[in-house]
Every structure is written in structure tokens, then in C-alpha cells.
């Protein structure tokens, strides 16, 4: 159940990104917002189970590599700090999705924007729940790339291109 907090925004990104033309602008926007809201509800359930009940969950999906007695796993950690951050990330993301639905209602590329927002949410959740520094780094880089995509959404505007490049450079080099 905990992995659905991560997988719902990823599914939203893929479904709206690839099948948004078939869903229409309203359908893609509704699906994206609905899946992020479901992710928020699951994060509330996880907060109750982990934060209130005290049952920490450590999910190991597979082994990346092993050197001697040291193994690096691809996994996710759900402790009290993590589930608190899950609520913050998913609630803000849900509100941004709701606002973007009405703010960009006339934009013909609304589905692409909603897909980018869902991708940003997915990488932010990967950053928060990562089990090791490699996953934290991948989440951080994903947040940087998706920030670039969101800032450069109107790629035909020169100011958007400059701002997106500035964001990538600052994110990459500090």
C-alpha cells in the first residue's frame, strides 16, 4: 500500500502524458488531479499507521549490487519523518494540481503541463522516501529535470528558456 503513494503520481504522468489526447483536456486534468488526491489519501493512511501506531515500514525491492558483505538495495523507508513529509508533498501537489486545472484551462497543452506536474511530484516523493544516498541523488536530479520542464513549459518564449537554463545551472552547480 505504501508504494501506491509513489506509483500513483507516476501512473498519472504516464497516462496523461501518453494518452492525454484521447482523454481530452478535462479528462487528463481530472485524472491527474484524482490520482494525486488518491496519493494524498494513502499518505494520510500511512501517516496514521506509521506516525500514530509506530509501525515503521522498510520496503526493499531488489539488490542493486553487492561488494563483499556490503549490499546496496533499491528500497523505500517509511518512518515518522518520511510520512510527515509525504503529507506535505502530496497535499501541496494536490492543491497545485487543482489550481492549475482552472488557471491553465484555456491552454491547449494542459495535459503536458499536468504530466510534468505529476512527474515533479513523483520525483519529490522519491527524494523523500529514498532508502539510500543513491536514491536521494536520483530523486534530486529528477526534481531538477522536472523543474526545468515546468519552467520551460512555454518553450517558444525566450524568457522561459533563459529561466529554465538558469534553474538547471543553479540546481546542478549551486
DSSP designation for 104: T
Give a yes or no: residue 161 inside a domain.
no
Please check whether residue 151 lies inside any domain of the structure. Answer: no
The pLDDT assigned to 75 comes to: 92
- Look at residue 169 and tell me if it is in a domain: no
Asked, for residue 99, whether it belongs to a domain, the answer is yes
166 in a domain, yes or no?
no
Q: What is the pTM of this model?
A: 0.91
SS (H, E, C) 113-163: HHHHHHHHHHHHHHHHHECCHHHHHHHHHHHHHHHHHHHCCCCCCHHHHHH
The reported pLDDT for the residue numbered 16 is 95
**Domain limits at 120?**
3-132
**139 inside domain:** no
| pLDDT by 10-residue block (mean), the chain, 174 residues | 94 94 90 97 94 86 85 89 95 96 88 95 96 91 90 80 81 73
Q: What is the pLDDT of residue 56?
A: 87
Q: What is the pLDDT, as a whole number, of residue 39?
A: 97
Question: 3-state secondary structure string, the chain?
Answer: CCHHHHHHHHHHHHHHHHHHHHHHHHHHHHHHHHHHHHHHHHHHHHHHHHHHCCCCEEEEEEEEEEECCEEEEEEEEECHHHHHHHHHHHHHHHHHHHHHHHHCCCCCCHHHHHHHHHHHHHHHHHHHHECCHHHHHHHHHHHHHHHHHHHCCCCCCHHHHHHHHHHHHHHHHC
What's residue 156's pLDDT? Answer: 76
The reported pLDDT for the residue numbered 167 is 81
Q: Establish if 173 belongs to a structural domain.
A: no
- pLDDT, position 25: 84
Count the domains in the chain: 1
Contact 57, 30 (CB under 8 A): no
Residue 154: predicted pLDDT = 76
Start-to-end CA distance of the chain, whole Å, equals 36
pLDDT for 174: 66
Amino acid at each position: 500500500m505504501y508504494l501506491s503513494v509513489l506509483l500513483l503520481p507516476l501512473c498519472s504522468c504516464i497516462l496523461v502524458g501518453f494518452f492525454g489526447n484521447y482523454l481530452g483536456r478535462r479528462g487528463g486534468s481530472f485524472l491527474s488531479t484524482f490520482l494525486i488526491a488518491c496519493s494524498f489519501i494513502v499518505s494520510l493512511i500511512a501517516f496514521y499507521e506509521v506516525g500514530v501506531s509506530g509501525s515503521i515500514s522498510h520496503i526493499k525491492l531488489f539488490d542493486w549490487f553487492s561488494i563483499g558483505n556490503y549490499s546496496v538495495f533499491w528500497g523505500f523507508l517509511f518512518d515518522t519523518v518520511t510520512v510527515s513529509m509525504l503529507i506535505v508533498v502530496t497535499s501541496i501537489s494536490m492543491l497545485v494540481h487543482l489550481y492549475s486545472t482552472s488557471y491553465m484551462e484555456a491552454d491547449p497543452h494542459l495535459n503536458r503541463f499536468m504530466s510534468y506536474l505529476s512527474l515533479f511530484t513523483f520525483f519529490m516523493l522519491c527524494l523523500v522516501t529514498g532508502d539510500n544516498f543513491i536514491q536521494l541523488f536520483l530523486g534530486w536530479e529528477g526534481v531538477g529535470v522536472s523543474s526545468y520542464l515546468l519552467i520551460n513549459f512555454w518553450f517558444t518564449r525566450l524568457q522561459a528558456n533563459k529561466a529554465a537554463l538558469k534553474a538547471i545551472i543553479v540546481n546542478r552547480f549551486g
